[in-house]
Amino acid sequence: MTDTERLLEQAGERWRAGQRTPPEIDPAIFSPDTPGARWRASFTALSVVGALVLVVVATMQLGRSPESGPAAVGGTPPSPSAAEPSVADSSAPADATCDVTRPTPAFVPPSPNPAEPPAYYGSAWYGTPALWTMLDRNGETWEHLPIGSDGLSQKTFWWSTDWVPEADPEPAITVVGSRLDGPGTFTVGPGTNASADFGTAMLVGVTVPTPGCWRLTGTYLDASLSIVVLVKGD
């Protein structure tokens, strides 16, 4: 064993020794009466309409490329596709009809940016060199968000090869939100900067007025990038 390994093992042992014992598992959290399960039960009861919507959506999806890549980079965002729910669908459960954007194909930024986010985010880059963001590999579902008087708060992170943090610490990036399954819009900007283990990003804090299925369009310089996220209000 090398000295470095010894130091690491000793530090790890000390750290583990300082950890509190985790609380005992309460099986009640696995009960069918937990909120999540209650929601699923409601979903089941309502799923006749929902299932029909899903069938229609799935059928329509067959006609479009599911891996078509980022939407509207360097141009204006597209109009809502036929597969996206309209206001008329607002009574359906949001995540049954919300076609969240998945980062497929994953975008690989040019060096020196990391080729992919740290693994424990379970995410991938999505976009183009002009503007990209980080998305959960299964699409973004935001839940347990802080709730304020104006809505639910979340941070969004964006990167661009055209952005120089030192020269432009408060980039003129905007994020426009448009709810796809009901009424609602918001616009925020400019951004600020944030550094973490994924590098330095343009940070835009958004306040989503209501839970639902939302399209977010980030615009920086001449580039735009649209994503669809599901916002839960639990």
Partner 1 sequence: MPDTPEGFADWIRPHLPAMARLAARLAPDGDRDDVVQEALTRAWQKRRQFDVTRGTPAAWLLAITADRARQARRRRSDAWLPAEVAGRVRSHDERLDVEYAVARLPPRQRLAVDCFYFVGLSVADTAAVMRCSEGTVKSTLSDARQRLRPMLEVPE
Contact indicator for 207, 166 with CB cutoff of 8 Å? no
Q: How many residues bind partner 1 (CB under 8 A)?
A: 45
Q: Radius of gyration (Cα) for the chain, nearest Å?
A: 21
Subset of residues 51 to 110 that bind partner 1, contact rule: CB under 8 A: none
Is position 118 an interface residue for partner 1 (rule: CB under 8 A)?
yes
Is position 15 an interface residue for partner 1 (rule: CB under 8 A)?
yes
Rank residues 91 and 138 by Cβ distance to partner 1 and give the closer one: 138
Q: Pick from 226, 233, 227, 190: which is nearest to 75 by CA? A: 226
Question: What is each CA distance from 122 to 113, 170, 183, 217, in whole angstroms?
Answer: 18, 28, 31, 22
Is position 34 an interface residue for partner 1 (rule: CB under 8 A)?
yes
Q: Find the part of the chain contacting partner 1 (CB under 8 A) among 43-51, 77-85, 87-95, 195-203.
A: 195-203
Q: Find the part of the chain contacting partner 1 (CB under 8 A) among 21-29, 99-107, 177-185, 210-218.
A: 21-29
Question: What is each CA distance from 95 to 34, 36, 178, in whole angstroms?
Answer: 19, 13, 16
Is position 31 an interface residue for partner 1 (rule: CB under 8 A)?
yes
Residue from 45, 65, 111, 144 touching partner 1 (CB under 8 A): that is 144
Which residues on neighbouring strands pair with residue 66, listed in sequence order? none
